[in-house]
Amino acid sequence: MNTVYLYDGGFISFIALVVELYRNKITPNDIKNTNEYETNLLDEIKYINIENENKNIELLKKYISKECLYCIYNVFLSENKNKEMIIYDFLKYYFKYQNKVFNMRRIDSVNESIKIGKYVRGEAHKLKGFLRFRKMKNNFYYSEITPTNNVIGILANHFMKRLKEDYWIIKDTKRNIYAIYDLKDVYYLTDEEVLSLNLEINESEDLIEDLWKTFHKTVAIKERLNKKCQQNFMPKKYWKNMLEMEDEI
């Protein structure tokens, strides 16, 4: 029988579960997000009742470095189907070797964690430059992204510092999650929760968009266009959310 432990999908809940598994010396066959788990008759589903998640988080933070927490958080944001067990196994070696574990690339879970984390951070970094805001009639600035990984939180933290004087919304169209900034904090909402917002583009913004498209085409030197090189720096999967590339799709 394959023993699978389920959690509610949140990072805090996942870490709290991992702490409980270690404290009780339980080795799971698998750990899965309840919302994504596909029923299998060969699986034995188990839950652990966690009375105080925050206490477990503080306990974990006490014994791991910021570098380690940063690493496992980036892995958690990935779309890797085995990310939970990769993190669980990585932490097993971390508790034994501490930060020295980052030099032990021959260990599969260590190597995978470093590679996945780098990929997630790389995508977030690209989107910081590729993300395009449009001004809406309710004076919010609105943007859509379709990232491979769940990086909306990283982007929200970035733009909360860069655009702290403006109201803005970033929508992850793949996961239907909205990050909404109200000049004080960022809130994460679903489609149903934002229906009351007026997301019509401001008429003056239409003019600005046309000017931007014209500028983009004007500065491009036709004889020096290199589509292959362009896609290396600006992957085509991001084009549909970039104003200047709309006519290229």
Please list the residues that pair with 6 across neighbouring strands: 32
Do 49 and 93 sit in the same domain of this protein? yes
Could you tell me the mean pLDDT of each successive run of 10 residues in the chain, 249 residues long?
90 89 91 89 84 73 89 96 96 94 97 97 92 83 92 96 91 92 90 70 53 45 50 57 52
Do 117 and 150 sit in the same domain of this protein? no
* Full residue range of the structural domain in which residue 196 is found: 131-248
Q: Cα(34)–Cα(17) distance, rounded to whole angstroms?
A: 13
What local confidence, expressed as pLDDT, does residue 204 receive?
57
Buried-exposed string 117-137: b where 16+ CB fall within 10 A, e elsewhere: bebbbebbebbeebbbbbbbe
Please indicate, yes or no, if residue 126 is contained in any of the structural domains: no
Do 72 and 140 sit in the same domain of this protein? no
Give me the residue label for tokens 């270690």.
22
Give me the residue label for tokens 């709290």.
16
Do 151 and 194 sit in the same domain of this protein? yes
Do 152 and 208 sit in the same domain of this protein? yes
Tally of domains within the chain: 2
Out of 121, 144, 165, pick the residue that ends a domain: 121
Please indicate, yes or no, if residue 55 is contained in any of the structural domains: yes
Do 60 and 109 sit in the same domain of this protein? yes
What local confidence, expressed as pLDDT, does residue 214 receive?
46
Please indicate, yes or no, if residue 198 is contained in any of the structural domains: yes
Do 137 and 231 sit in the same domain of this protein? yes
Please indicate, yes or no, if residue 236 is contained in any of the structural domains: yes
The two three-digit tokens of residue 34, written as one number: 């309840």
What is the rounded radius of gyration, in angstroms, for the C-alpha atoms of the chain? 22
Q: How many Cβ atoms from other residues are within 10 Å of residue 95's Cβ?
A: 13
What local confidence, expressed as pLDDT, does residue 139 receive?
79
CA distances from 68 to 14, 42, 63, 85, 107 (A): 15, 34, 10, 16, 16
User: What are residue 127's phi and psi, to 5 degrees?
Assistant: -70, -25
Do 154 and 227 sit in the same domain of this protein? yes
The answer to whether the CB of 123 falls within 8 A of the CB of 131 is: no
Do 234 and 139 sit in the same domain of this protein? yes
Do 9 and 37 sit in the same domain of this protein? yes
The two three-digit tokens of residue 240, written as one number: 């549909």
Out of 121, 152, 182, pick the residue that ends a domain: 121
What local confidence, expressed as pLDDT, does residue 127 receive?
92
Nearest to 117 by CA among 152, 143, 158, 87: 87
Do 136 and 112 sit in the same domain of this protein? no
What local confidence, expressed as pLDDT, does residue 108 receive?
97
Out of 95, 121, 147, pick the residue that ends a domain: 121
Listed in sequence order, the residues at least 6 apart from 109 whose beta carbon sits closer than 8 Å to its beta carbon are: 86, 87, 89, 90, 92, 93
Please indicate, yes or no, if residue 162 is contained in any of the structural domains: yes
What local confidence, expressed as pLDDT, does residue 40 receive?
83
Do 67 and 97 sit in the same domain of this protein? yes
Please indicate, yes or no, if residue 213 is contained in any of the structural domains: yes
